[in-house]
Amino acid sequence: MSLYGTMRTGVSGMNAQSNRLSTVADNIANSSTVGYKKASVQFSSMILPTTNGAYNSGGVETDVRYSISSQGTFSYTTSTTDMAINGDGFFVVTGADGTPYLTRAGSFVPQEDGTLKNTAGYTLMGYKYDSNVDPTIVVNGFDGLEPVDLSGSGISAVPTTEAILNVNLPNGEAPGFQQKTSLKVFDSQGSSRLIEFTYEKTAANDWTVTAVEVEGGTTVVATQPLTFDAAGKLLTPASGQLVIDGYMINGAEVGGGVPAPAGGIALEIGNTTQLASPFSVEEGDANGNAASKVKGYEIDEAGIVSLAYENGDLVPQYRVALASVQSPDELNPVAGNLYTQSNSSGVIVMGYAGSSGFGSIISGALEDSNVDVAEELTAMIESQRNYTANSKVFQTGSELMEVLVNLKR
């Protein structure tokens, strides 16, 4: 047995326990850090070949691992822009240089420019949300992502572009019978306008609907014959849609103070019926909203970020992007509670919360560190004792080496 080998083995053991104590120190220091994932040390033996009956002591080497896939508990807050992921996935954030990173730390705070930054100063990324249609995701890259911007305008108005109005027309009435109903819509400046619909029976199974904008007079904005089959289902128009002429853009006016038509409203009427029942409105609604101030934000479990207005309207602006990899525990941790892709983690796949295996987003909550302080304190005591034992091995080898050297004296 080599005495030098014994001493090297003792040093190897002390280095290994020192590494373990370092991870314990990091874990305890970050036990209250949002989204922090604990580090641990795995030991493996280093064995040297034995020759001529002499045993050569090897040592121990360490491998640091991170429990990134282990989810922490949740703490609830009063901020709607705080977010936690319940399940798989990572938020995508960027630094000042535009480099994208992954993180589970969702403590985002609105900035003066409307962006959302976490406590480490990284900006949340997402996809622009338009007309309630999910944007197309670039599955294997960060293309198309942009900073989530909640600046908006202090006061916002959304004009009506789509509406629905389905009624039942009584089949037993004589030609000349009329019935009226109305819908409220909004112009581009947020003023509410009333469109009155008059249904008049012209013959068996035939009606005519006339839409009139009631504002400073009466302006016909649409007229359409309605034809029904023997079962009382709508045949004409075949599209099931009534197009209301362009409507009140920028508040422009024509003679008589009536807003000039521009734009247009697509009115769905495909489920209008003619049955042996009194006139009734089965469905009626219109998009758009009046001029209103922003009072806050709302983020749903699908990650859709909406501006909340004082009138109760929610206007979607962005959808938070989530990313995943095949082996989350193999990601490279970097400062700021961030992660980057490694050769062992697999490729990054983009998606949305609640779909394709991604977890849901909890607004007003933060993911706690997954560190168990009691477990770390136990590991610290074990490492301290093991370090002391390895130091005794080194000390004994040193003392034996001294005895060997002194034999010559």
- State residue 131's pLDDT score: 60
pLDDT at 189 over 90: no
Which of 154-168, 242-256, 268-282 is predicted least confidently?
Answer: 242-256
Model confidence over 2-26: pLDDT tens digits?
777 788 888 899 999 999 999 999 9
Model confidence over 213-266: pLDDT tens digits?
887 667 888 899 999 999 999 999 999 999 887 654 344 443 333 343 456 889
Bridge partner list, 165: 284
Banded pLDDT at 202 (limits 50, 70, 90): very high
Q: Is the model more confident about 355 or about 205?
A: 205
- State residue 257's pLDDT score: 37
Which of 6-15, 34-43, 177-186 is predicted least confidently?
Answer: 6-15
Q: What span, in angstroms and rounded, lies between the C-alpha atoms of 184 and 68?
A: 52
- State residue 287's pLDDT score: 87
Half-sphere exposure of 94 (CA within 13 A, CB side): 15
Average pLDDT score, the chain = 87
Q: What structural domains and CATH numbers belong to the chain?
A: 3-67+370-406 (no CATH), 74-155+292-367 (no CATH), 160-287 (2.60.98.20)
Stretch 51-78: mean pLDDT? 87
- State residue 288's pLDDT score: 83
Q: What span, in angstroms and rounded, lies between the C-alpha atoms of 320 and 314?
A: 16
Beta strands in 215-300 (DSSP E): 218-228, 234-236, 241-244, 253-254, 258-259, 265-268, 273-275, 280-286, 289-299
Model confidence over 288-344: pLDDT tens digits?
878 888 888 899 999 999 988 887 778 888 999 999 999 999 999 999 999 999 999
Stretch 79-98: mean pLDDT? 94
pLDDT at 54 over 80: no
Give the rounded percent of residues in the chain with a pLDDT score beyond 90.
60
Query: What one-character DSSP code corresponds to residue 166?
Result: E
Bridge partner list, 21: none
Q: Scan for tokens 């219109």, then name that residue.
A: 286
Q: What span, in angstroms and rounded, lies between the C-alpha atoms of 201 and 224?
A: 12
Q: Is the model more confident about 160 or about 202?
A: 202
3-state helix, strand, coil in the chain (%, to 5): 15, 45, 40
Q: Cβ–Cβ contacts within 10 Å for residue 183, how many?
A: 21
- State residue 133's pLDDT score: 65
pLDDT at 134 over 70: no
Q: What span, in angstroms and rounded, lies between the C-alpha atoms of 373 and 31?
A: 7
Half-sphere exposure of 250 (CA within 13 A, CB side): 3
Largest interatomic CA distance in the chain: 133
List the structure tokens of 203: 């013959």
CB < 8 Å & 24+ apart, contacts of 191-199: 191/248, 191/251, 191/290, 191/291, 192/290, 193/247, 193/248, 193/259, 195/221, 195/244, 197/165, 199/167, 199/169, 199/226, 199/279
Sequence-separated (6 or more) residues with CB below 8 Å from residue 241: 266, 267, 268, 269, 270
- Angle, CA of 337, 339 and 343, to the nearest 5°: 155
| C-alpha dihedral sign at 184, 221, 315, 151 | negative
- State residue 252's pLDDT score: 42
Banded pLDDT at 90 (limits 50, 70, 90): very high
